[in-house]
Amino acid sequence: MKYNGLPWRRLPLRTRVIGAFTLGATVAALVLVVITYGLSRQSMLSQREESSQRQFFANARQVQSSLRAENPDLTQLLESLPSLSGSRSIIRTDDIWTSLSVTPNDLPSELVAVVVEASDARSMRYRLDDQPVLAFGLQLRPGDASSLEQVAYFELVPLAEVENTLESLALILLVGGILTVLVGVGIGLWASGGLLRPLTEISNAATSIAQGRFDTRLEEVRDPDLAALVDSFNDMAAAMESRITRDARFASDVSHELRSPLMTLRTSIEVMQHRREELSDRTKQALDLLNDEVVRFEQLVQDLLDLSRSDSGPMENDLVNIEELVKATLDIAEGHASLEVIGTARGALVMGDKRRLAQVFDNLMRNAEKYGGGATRVIVAPNGGNIEVAVEDAGPGVPPSERSLIFERFTRGATARKRGTGDGAGLGLALVDEHARRHGGSARVEGKSDGGPGARFVITLPRAGRR
């Protein structure tokens, strides 16, 4: 595997924080354990060594003084020597070894060799029968009356007890070390939680804003590092909210201004239609043109207003029966489309705004009317936890290259543009898409499943009560 840069940097922040704390705790525990163990070991051993040495010298002096006698009973002497924590003594007189419970072979030959040569006391640590042992040796001066030439006194002090204590200590230190590491991991978890909580809060706030709750703000914090972030986030949210409110108010104001003259136009046209018989043929034609344009104008104003509202406005939330809604839309459209409701889609409920959902299907019907010669078939079908409503027509269809563009505002299919009917403003499908998305669903266009000519617009909406 090839790494670019530090692999550490690519880990999630939380993992890195916990990792750092774990590593820190491990190093601290390790250093502490090693130092504590080392120091304890040294002090215990040297303490034992010192006391053993004192005892050794005392014993050696006693042996020395006994040697002044002519024929000392060495065995008795050895028995009389005090034995500190199981120490055992050996006396070497010339080449004869006298001992109680040890044999000369138990002594390391190196020590014997050194002691024989040296004039001062020597000691050596070694293992005897796999037990740690400290051995002392000192050459003694035989008394003048003695016939002996060379006398050496040795003492073996077992260190097993110290070793055992050290082992227990090591075990305790190990457990302590592991606990320290665990505490380190725990603190890491807690700290990373604390460190990431503001980030989680910011992320939640951003999501909430994205879902249209523009008055979402972060709570003030006292931490100077976070305060700057929180302040700038809140400033951004406030600026965005005021801008969106201003835009929405502008759109709403514009639509208000446009709706009043439209009302006069619409009403006057109908008054004229009422007197159609009084008009000449030419005037009738002109009136029809006027009427068509006013209808189109009204639709544009309505779509614009709905889009501006869909950007900002709150949504009604009700349980809507999709089958009933689609049926009612079809009745109003007065087309020739057949309705198929498949399986569990029958009576299926969707949480949403009835008027907006109605607008979605109404726009799809109008779109089919305009560009596809009218809807031929409307299918309501279940799809997992969703309900899909498909509106099919028998028109020229939508080429794959235009399928993602078609839901953008003010886009119309190239084919439609060429026809130059000038009908519609290209806002209908944008509204379909926005409304579907605000209901947690989506809109798409595809070819017909049977490969025949025509377009198939599909709205997917989440089923209520199954989330």
Partner 1 sequence: MSIRILTIEDDQRIRTAVRFALEDEGWSVLEAETGEHALEYFKSTVPDVVLVDIGLPGVDGFEVCRALRRTSDVPIIMVTARDDTHDVVAGLEAGADDYVTKPIAPKELSARIRALLRRVRSEDTTAAPRSVGDLDIVPDEGVVRKSGNEIHLTKTEFHLLCELSDHLGKVLSREHLLEQVWGYDYFGDGRLVDVHVRRLRTKIETDPAHPRHVVTVRGMGYKLQA
The nearer residue to partner 1, 83 or 252, going by C-beta atoms, is 252
Residue 467 found at the interface with partner 1 (CB under 8 A)? no
CB of 264 to partner 1, least distance (A): 5
The nearer residue to partner 1, 313 or 440, going by C-beta atoms, is 313
Residue 131, SS3? strand
CB of 375 to partner 1, least distance (A): 18
Question: 358 in the Ramachandran plot: left (φ > 0), alpha (ψ -120 to 50) or beta?
Answer: alpha
Residue 437 found at the interface with partner 1 (CB under 8 A)? no
Ramachandran angles phi, psi of 36, nearest 5° = -60, -45
The site that binds partner 1 (CB under 8 A) totals a number of residues, namely 32
**Start-to-end C-alpha separation, the chain:** 41
CB of 352 to partner 1, least distance (A): 11
The nearer residue to partner 1, 275 or 418, going by C-beta atoms, is 275
**CA dihedral for 435, 438, 444, 449, sign (positive or negative):** negative
Per-position DSSP letters for 247-266, written without gaps between them = HHHHHHHHHHHHHHHHHHHH
Among 106, 161, 201, 298, binds partner 1 (CB under 8 A): 298
Cβ atoms of 392 and 369 within 8 Å: the answer is no
The span of 36-44, 76-84, 209-217, 265-273 binding partner 1 (CB under 8 A) equals 265-273
Any long-range contacts for 404-409 (C-beta under 8 Å, 24+ apart)? 406/445, 407/432, 407/433, 407/443, 407/445, 409/307
The nearer residue to partner 1, 35 or 289, going by C-beta atoms, is 289
Quote the CA–CA distance of 312 and 306 in Å, as a whole number: 10
Residue length of the chain: 467
Residue 271 found at the interface with partner 1 (CB under 8 A)? yes
Residue 244, SS3? helix
Residue 221 found at the interface with partner 1 (CB under 8 A)? no
For the segment 307-326, give every residue that binds partner 1 (CB under 8 A): 309, 313-314, 316, 318-319, 324-325
Cβ atoms of 159 and 134 within 8 Å: the answer is yes
Quote the CA–CA distance of 465 and 290 in Å, as a whole number: 48
The nearer residue to partner 1, 360 or 445, going by C-beta atoms, is 360
Among 89, 99, 255, 460, binds partner 1 (CB under 8 A): 255
Q: Is 428 exposed, middle or buried (0-12, 13-18, 19+ CB in 10 A)?
A: buried
| Sole residue written with tokens 């505002």 | 409
CB of 259 to partner 1, least distance (A): 4
Among 75, 242, 267, 285, binds partner 1 (CB under 8 A): 267
Cβ atoms of 356 and 318 within 8 Å: the answer is no
Interface characters, 355-394, with partner 1 (x: CB under 8 A):
x--x------------------------------------
Cβ atoms of 440 and 462 within 8 Å: the answer is yes
The span of 99-107, 116-124, 193-201, 269-277 binding partner 1 (CB under 8 A) equals 269-277
Residues that bind partner 1 (CB under 8 A): 252, 255-256, 259-268, 270-271, 274, 298, 309, 313-314, 316, 318-319, 324-325, 328, 331-332, 349, 354-355, 358
